[in-house]
Structure 1
Amino acid sequence: MTIPVGAWVRIELDGPYLAYTYRDPTHGLSAKGCKIEGEPDAALVRAVMQSPRATVRLEHGGFAVTPLRPDEREALGLHGPPPWMEVFSPPAGPWRRDPLLAKYLHPSYPDDLQARFYFAAHGQVEEMWVRLTAIDPEIGGYRGTLLNTPHTPAGLTEGDEVGIRLAPGVPVPVAVDAAARADLREWSGACSECGFDLLLEPVATIVARQFPQQPGVPEMFTTRCALCAGTMMVQRRRG
């Protein structure tokens, strides 16, 4: 079972402990709490909330950790994080306040989401986890760190920085690679069928394939949507 972050739990050490899990910036997944002596009571809750006596590093597993049930939390009055968590809580990223992105964020890891990666050159699509780190205004989305390595040999690996944005017609956020980023910078377009607004190949590549006799790149052209094969009108941005 995955240990949730930001949760009240019972941990078995040299006896049961009541603790709260959090992510330490140095040691990773951890918990702070106090040993349960007899029945949990108000004194134990005060100790855990104000001055926990034990710190457990959970990053590498090996511990029996059980999240408290809602009725157990209610009985002890544990309705949220303890005051000492302010020390370990970095400022929430703006993506956590983005109503359009809310449903995609992992409930226990609210900076993480699954994004769809289109590897057009390989004809492959994969979904991988990304940890968001910053706003990416150039693409109208966010930047993040890739948490997986794709099966497709596309030059990406775990730890790489990637761009993520929402795109019409796709049920999950979409990764924006260098080619798509360049296209967004200079071109605009949307599918008349599904609304998808990304080109998954460089415009020059698309034009050379569709219009082999065309000298240069036209200011406006139509192409097939990479998502549904509908018609996409593409035009160069002005200014």
Structure 2
Amino acid sequence: MLWRNHSALKGKLHPDYPDDLQVIVHDGGPRLTERQPELVWVRITGMGKDLLTGTVLNAPTQLLSVQQEQHIQFALAGVEHPVMLTAKYLKEKAAWNIQACQKCGLTELFDAPSDLIKVIFPNIPADAHLEGFSSFCPLCHGVQLVEATNVAAEAKHPWWKFWAS
């Protein structure tokens, strides 16, 4: 139960139930749904390096994709409460650098980048490869920049430096 002593969780765990905390859950961000994110109580059941797992203790009032007793994954995301992350988002996340929202500091997206790209750029060819894009923050509607990790790697080592060495 390493999470009970995690410095970023101090003051967030329920005083009487030290494995419980409030997590932001959602059906997706503002480009994919009109439903607003909600806070629910989650009982932590596991903790990895950057990811926690837990069981939803109370049913959201208007969300369709999250139910009571569902197992979810969530992360500390630069805002007051941890944020639920979907399996699809986690699968795609490594290919993208997500900058914190300029207004609230959120460091995660609610939607998988591939889903956002389909909505933001509906006419993009199927074989196109985006270097980056911006998206509205799902919490405060600020702006988050999303950059492909291979672009960031190329910026550190421009093509002409490979030939000069």
- TM-score (normalizing by structure 2): 0.75
Q: Which of the residues 70, 90, 95 maps onto 1:181?
A: 90
The structure richer in strand per residue is 1
Q: Structure 1: how far apart are the matches of 2:63 and 2:137?
A: 24
The code of the aligned residue for 2:41 comes to W
Per the TM alignment, residue 95 of structure 1 is displaced from its structure 2 partner at its CA by 0.4
RMSD over aligned CA atoms reads 2.1
Alpha-carbon distance, 1:164 to partner: 2.0
Q: Percentage identity across aligned positions? A: 31
> Which residue does the alignment assign to 1:195?
105
2:158 is matched with none
Mapped to 2, the partners of 1:171 and 1:148 lie a distance apart of 19
Q: Give the aligned partner of residue 21 of structure 2.
A: 113
Q: Which runs of 5+ in 1 are unaligned?
A: 1-92
Q: Tell me the distance in 1 between the aligned counterparts of 2:86 and 2:62.
A: 14
Max Rg structure: 1
The answer to whether the 8 A contact 1:136-1:163 is kept is: no
Equivalent of residue 65 in structure 2, options 155, 162, 166: 155
User: Once the two structures are superposed, what CA deviation does each residue of 1:132-163 show, in whole Å capped at 9, x if it has no partner?
Assistant: 111133xx131111112222342332222111
Q: Say if 1:129 and 1:162 are closer, same or farther in 2 by CA, change over 3 A.
A: same
For 1:65, the equivalent position in structure 2 comes to none
Aligned to 1:223: 135
Whole-Å separation in 2 of the counterparts to 1:204 and 1:100? 30
- Matching of residue 99 in structure 1 with residue 7 in structure 2: yes
Aligned partners of 1:128 and 1:150 also within 8 Å:
yes
- Given the alignment of the two structures, is residue 130 of structure 1 paired with residue 39 of structure 2, yes or no? no
| Distance change (3 Å), C-alpha of 1:197 and 1:183 | farther
Give the Cα–Cα distance (whole angstroms) in 2 for the partners of residues 198 and 217 of structure 1.
21
Are 1:206 and 2:123 matched, yes or no? no
Aligned length in residues: 144
Q: Where in structure 2 are there 5+ consecutive unaligned residues?
A: 154-165
Q: Does structure 2 conserve the Cα–Cα contact (< 8 Å) formed by 1:143 and 1:162?
A: yes
Cα distance in 1, alignment partners of residues 141 and 65 from structure 2 = 27
The one-character-per-residue Cα deviations of 1:182-201 (angstroms, maximum 9, x if unpaired) are 34333221223332121112
| Cα drift, residue 115 of structure 1 | 1.0
- Taking a change above 3 Å as real, the CA distance of residues 230 and 204 of structure 1, as seen in their structure-2 partners, is same
In structure 2, how many angstroms separate the alpha carbons of the residues matched to 1:126 and 1:136?
24
TM-score (norm 1): 0.54
The residue aligned with 1:87 is none
